[in-house]
């Protein structure tokens, strides 16, 4: 699901706002309130409910409240699954977190794949925008999990950031592109996980739609590790994560579609229309068959790119489209086209036009890759 593009964000990169919730109300067209039993995940002690006691709006902000009820604990877990999901973008939430010695709270703002294309967790990936445990009250974490890198085998990739007071509002964010995931607090980057050119889904499953999740867990393997077997103490008032807003941005262009802006990885990206769901690559290949219309490969790529620009747009991008896009290295900044033209001169090495295009696509794959296709 994509919202209509509206305001842009400019912190050196132009983006458009494609989805947001400012929490004027608890909009169940945007969020699911899950009902799940205690101990379902990570030995966490809370059950998740759809009760207004556990998730509600107060003063224009979402409150997720964990509390002691009867002999157990209740809380809320909200997701956008099947209501809003994205491949790539910047995901931000302004929130303040609960603390309390002995509380065992474990609030999280995170993402999971909507379809487990590479198998169950962790094979299809997880992106943690923010996790916090009361056992370490000043630390927040950004993390990714994959089949090769996950906490079950102690290989997860992540970083932590120390904050003076997590009970103050902070903006937690992840920037997810075709070749890296970066974590931020208040626009300060503290975590980077790079694809490093791999096509192995065990190391990089982050090329499918993911949805957002907001929750507060109680106890469990991480949230309760410092309790030494004692029951979490949430106090009579319970513990709250308060979320001011959640916003999702996408680039103003489609340079984040596919690996380094190319058709290669967009090939496996799932596109959906009234006829069903299929990958960009499957659709392209079908169009080259008799049943699909016997298009040439180039024609099929352009057609699919026009049908699904946000998913398959890279397959229709040509060198002409990126000719004026700027690339930067230690020598300076120049457009793909000017670099290509320079390489065909005597000073540049007298390369043929095709060789110059290939060279520039290799030098600047994130910007000039279509020149080699």
Question: Which active-site residues does the annotation give?
Answer: 126, 131
Q: For residue 181, what is the enclosing H or E element?
A: strand 180-185
- 94 φ, ψ (degrees, to nearest 5): -100, 120
**Per-position DSSP letters for 54-94, written without gaps between them:** TEEEETTEEEEEEEEETTEEEE-EEE-TTTS-BSSEEEEEE
Strand, coil or helix: 222: helix
Segments in 67-185 forming alpha helices (H): none
Residue 373's alpha-carbon distances to 53, 309, 355, 367, 370, in angstroms, are 56, 18, 12, 13, 5
Segments in 207-249 forming alpha helices (H): 220-223
Instruction: Compute the C-alpha angle 93/244/51, nearest 5°.
Output: 100
Long-range contacts of 120-123 (CB under 8 A, 24+ apart): 121/145, 122/146, 122/147, 122/150, 122/152, 123/147, 123/201, 123/202, 123/205
Q: List, in order, residues 6 or more apart from 350 with CB less than 8 Å away.
A: 344
Distance CA 146, CA 202 (A): 6
Return the axis-axis angle of helices 353-363 and 336-343, rounded to nearest 10°: 130
State the number of CA atoms in the 13 A half-sphere of 19 facing the CB: 22
């Amino acid at each position: 699901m994509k919202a209509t593009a509206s305001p842009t964000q400019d912190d050196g990169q132009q983006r458009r706002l494609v989805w947001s919730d400012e929490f004027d109300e608890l909009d169940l067209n945007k969020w699911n309130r899950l009902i799940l039993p205690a101990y379902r995940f990570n030995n966490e002690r809370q059950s998740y409910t759809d009760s207004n006691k556990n998730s509600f709006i107060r003063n224009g902000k979402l409150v997720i409240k964990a509390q002691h009820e009867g002999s157990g604990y209740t809380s809320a877990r909200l997701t956008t699954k099947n209501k809003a999901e994205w491949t790539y973008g910047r995901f931000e939430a302004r929130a303040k977190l609960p603390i309390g010695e002995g509380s065992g709270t474990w609030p999280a703002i995170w993402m999971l794949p909507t379809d487990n294309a590479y198998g169950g967790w962790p094979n299809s990936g997880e992106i943690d925008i923010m996790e916090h445990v009361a056992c370490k009250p000043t630390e927040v974490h950004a993390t990714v999990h994959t089949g090769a890198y996950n906490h079950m085998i102690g290989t997860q990739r992540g970083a932590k950031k120390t904050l003076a007071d997590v009970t103050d509002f902070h903006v937690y964010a992840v920037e997810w592109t075709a070749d890296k995931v970066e974590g931020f607090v208040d626009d300060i980057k503290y975590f980077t996980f790079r694809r490093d050119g791999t096509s192995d889904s065990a190391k990089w499953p982050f090329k499918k739609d993911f949805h957002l999740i907001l929750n507060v867990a109680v106890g469990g393997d991480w949230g309760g590790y410092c309790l030494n077997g004692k029951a979490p103490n949430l106090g009579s008032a319970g513990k709250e994560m308060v979320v001011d807003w959640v916003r999702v941005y996408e680039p103003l262009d489609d340079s984040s579609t596919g690996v380094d802006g190319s058709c290669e990885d967009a090939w496996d990206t799932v596109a959906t229309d009234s006829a069903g769901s299929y990958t960009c690559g499957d659709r392209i290949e079908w169009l080259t068959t008799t049943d699909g219309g016997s298009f040439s490969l180039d024609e099929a790529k352009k057609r699919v790119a026009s049908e699904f620009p946000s998913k398959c747009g890279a397959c229709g991008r040509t060198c002409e489209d990126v000719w004026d896009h700027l690339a930067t290295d230690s020598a300076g900044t120049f457009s793909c086209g000017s670099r290509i033209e320079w390489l065909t001169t005597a000073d540049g090495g007298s390369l043929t036009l095709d060789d110059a295009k290939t060279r520039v696509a290799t030098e600047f794959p994130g910007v000039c890759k279509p020149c080699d296709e």
